[in-house]
Amino acid sequence: MAIDLIHPYHDLLGQSGVAAASQEFLETFQKQHGLYFGDRPLCSVLRPRFLSHLQYQFLRHRVRLLCMAFAKAQQAALADDAFRAQFGLTPEEDELARLDPGFACAYPTSRLDAFFVSEDELYFTEFNSETPAGAAYNHALTELFQMLPVMREYQKQFQTYGLATHAGVIQSLLAAYEQWSGNRSKPTICILDWADVPTYSEFKLFERHFHFYGLDAVIADPREVEYTDHRLYARGRAIDLIYKRVLISELIERGGMEHPVIRAVRAGDVCMINPFRCKILFKKASFAVLTDEQNSHLFTSEERAVILAHIPWTRMVAERHTLAPGQTVDGKAHSPKSPQPDPGPKVDLIPFVLANKDRLVLKPNDDYGGKGIVLGWTVDQAAWDAAVQTALQTPYIVQARVNLPKEPFPNWIDDKLVIVDRMVDTDPYILHGQFMDGSLCRISTADLLNVTAGGGSTVPTFVVEKR
């Protein structure tokens, strides 16, 4: 059990001077390396996330199977306009999604967000196939904790394996660019996003990593680029590869369909990763597509089993009848460990959602940072009823509640060691849409685990075994 790996670490922190020295190192390292989200330090606790070897292998195996299911949903969406409509793309997004990106996988770098409710109980709740942030942050925090005084003592008793992620992201970018260009030349890279985003410090980390690997790179705001004579320019440099961190919806909203980036990508004059096609699975409706009974024919029995076991019941909010949570496509009741609305026959969706607020979550189909999410158990019935009406007017999904796991995390506050239970997620990075490569972890005392939303802290993940 992971908890058996935690207590010895906390015992070491309780020794004289260890916690204070570790806190000083934590603060100094983050200041020196710019590990801040906006003006907040990325990490505010003295312990990383620990996974047992069994948890790690279980996670990798389930991620691989889910990747196969997501890939089938993506293929079906590209092959059939009616099927693609289930994802709720805007007309502009739909048009751009049909552009061939020039390489096989539409999301070479991506990230799933999940919760380990227990040792073998795992639920995936979102799929960031567009702009998965945090890989460079995660690498830096992994380095930080490997040097922390308490960790050096802990490693005398336990073997620790950091799950670094930045190198895999860079490898996936270069592999996709090689497919696009047909050669192995080194591209000039533009890290593209708005200059005022709180993740700008991560762009600086990636810029340094690109330079370390001998790659020319520049950070640019979409308002700073120009497209002329079949070349895209950023700050005076001709760009071969865009490492896109700006959201497609924001790029269209602020720059329109004739933005230089869109024109250059359309013409095949620049490679962009992740490409416009990634938007299909980025829509939160992708979870509705996987769990909806009308699509079960797409998947093998093994894939259906892993979807049922690890993806909470999800539907687009609409006037319709559908299977209730916990009901399998063959009509048999399924009883997951995590409490969800009681199994039953097909239900009228909107009355069902209105009557089950304490077991459901509403999420905008396309947003980030926790924006617009309504946790039914945190609001009164009037607020929930109003949220459902909003969801009927604007594309939303409704998803079954997942019990959020908690772990104790230590803080050094007012010269005293304080250990507080925090909710914790597990966010595996995926390369080439096929396999897991590292994992992000966010912790919070609030139900909404999202750093952008102001919730909590980021910590690196280590796989730990007793020596």
Sign, Cα dihedral of 235, 241, 244, 248: positive
Nearest CA to 104 out of 434, 329, 459 is that of 434
Q: Which residues of 36-53 are buried (b: 16+ CB within 10 A; e: fewer)?
A: bbeeeebbbbbbbbbbbe
Label residue 438 left, alpha or beta by phi (over 0 means left) and psi (-120 to 50 means alpha): left
3-state secondary structure 232-266: EEECCEEECEEEECCCHHHHHHHHCCCCHHHHHHH
Residue 333 pLDDT: 41
The alpha carbon of 450 is separated from its chain's Cα centroid by a whole number of angstroms, namely: 10
- Are 78 and 98 in contact by the 8 Å Cβ rule? The answer is yes
Q: Which residues of 189-207 are buried (b: 16+ CB within 10 A; e: fewer)?
A: bbbbbbeebebbbbbebbb
3-state secondary structure 91-129: HHHHHHHCCCCCCCCCCCEEEEEEEEEECCEEEEEEEEC
Residue 26 pLDDT: 96
C-alpha span between 311 and 10 (Å, rounded):
33
Residues of the chain below pLDDT 70:
1-3, 327-344, 369, 447-455
The class (CATH top level) of 313-400 is alpha beta
Structure tokens at 173: 């970018």
C-alpha span between 242 and 265 (Å, rounded):
10
75-89: pLDDT as tens digits: 999 999 999 999 999
Nearest CA to 361 out of 98, 126, 109 is that of 126
Q: What are phi and psi of 388, to 5 degrees?
A: -65, -40
Q: What are phi and psi of 400, to 5 degrees?
A: -65, 140
Nearest CA to 168 out of 414, 436, 467 is that of 436
- Are 55 and 467 in contact by the 8 Å Cβ rule? The answer is no
Domain boundaries, the chain: 8-281+412-466, 313-400
Residue 340 pLDDT: 45
Residue 467 pLDDT: 86
Spell out the residues 6+ positions from residue 347 whose beta carbon is closer than 8 angstroms to its own: 321, 322, 323, 324
Residue 369 pLDDT: 63
397-452: pLDDT as tens digits: 999 999 899 999 999 999 999 999 999 999 999 999 999 999 999 999 876 554 44
Residue 243 pLDDT: 98
22-57: pLDDT as tens digits: 999 999 999 999 999 888 899 999 999 999 999 999
Residue 119 pLDDT: 80
Residue 87 pLDDT: 98
